[in-house]
Amino acid sequence: MTKLHAVGLVTEYNPFHNGHLYHLTTAKRQTGADVVVAVMSGNFTQRGEPTILDKWTRAQAALANGVDLVVELPVFHAVQPAHRFAAGALQLLDALQVEQIVFGAEHPEWDFDQLVAAEAQFDPQEFHDYHATYASQFNAQLAAQTGYSLTDPNDILAFSYYKARHEAGYQFDLQPMQRIANYYHQQTITGTIASASAIRQAVQTKQAIDDTVPEATAAALAQLINVPDWDTLYPILRNQLIQTPVQQLAQYYQMGEGIEYRMQAAAERSLTFADFIKQVKTKRYTYAYLTRLCLYVTLGITKSEVANAVANPYLHVLGFSDQGQAYLSQIKKTVTLPLIVKVDQDLKAGMLKLDYRAGKLYQMFTPVEQDLKHAPIRRLSRK
């Protein structure tokens, strides 16, 4: 049997749009890969927001448009700052034996290996300004040493991929490609390729999006009644913050520096999520950090649970094409992590318990069971 070669993508597909289609087709063309493997965030994004469509619907759209294998990036990797998000995703792609990883960047011409080397020379004493975020302090040192600043989200991720590869010693090739036609945070649709943020905003305001997304995504979005958001989840978070002793809140993942007191006080005063997050915000913390922390609290995810989960990674397959199935057969005897195709009661209570909890929370927005006994989606070859 001819050996199949795979290219890896790190994705959220929130939702899958024409820019993503360009990304995957370009990645396959420029690498000559036989198989496209996507590691995709589950039901919550890196910033701690619920995804606009559930993970199965997004996996279906990816498969319908040319991805051959979709594997879930677990919640304890997916809802993280860039360096931990990247490290978790690359660990899974390494286990899946991809030979190249292709990703979008605003400045693909930059020498990211050089920037990683520069970071190794940073002075730790320069990170103690409690009136500035870590990101701003990081960029101040990076600019001083190299003249570059990492301000665009995709450049930050690109840097994080190179750093993760360097630290873990992975052998695959990293290939940044130029993002086209839009910026990550662009909020308006100006053509057939728009940012995911602009598409979500358009869905929220009932604007047309069909020209910016493939048919599978358009059909799924057309069925949405309400866009998932923190306004819906806030009563659960608020109750958790008010009812939980502050000493227990301190055990939740990423809680520190006494911010549990600030969050509990804000929850007691705030009836809306917008008001709550405004009261908690300081110059020390970004909105992304705070939203991630809100999700950890809502799910009751503790520091020890994350440490245990990170130490016991796995591959949860959400879907595959015929070619993807053939690739799984090719690597299954040498894959280094547990390969999961269906979640049973033991996995629900054990290895996948954090994803199971996240899936149950997401069912605030959908009646579809997100994990237990859910078989992978199969895409048959086109005749």
Report in angstroms the alpha-carbon separations of 260 from 299, 320, 383: 15, 42, 57
DSSP β-bridge partners for residue 175: 102
Q: Tell how strand 69-73 and strand 315-321 pair up.
A: antiparallel
CA distance between the termini of the chain: 22
The answer to whether 322 touches 3, Cβ cutoff 8 Å, is: no
- Which residues contribute to the annotated binding site? 10-23, 104, 154, 179-180
- Which residues contribute to the annotated binding site for ATP? 10-23, 104, 154, 179-180
The answer to whether 115 touches 143, Cβ cutoff 8 Å, is: no
Nearest CA among 296, 188, 168 for reference residue 244: 296
The answer to whether 55 touches 67, Cβ cutoff 8 Å, is: no
Interatomic CA distance for residues 315 and 31, integer angstroms: 24
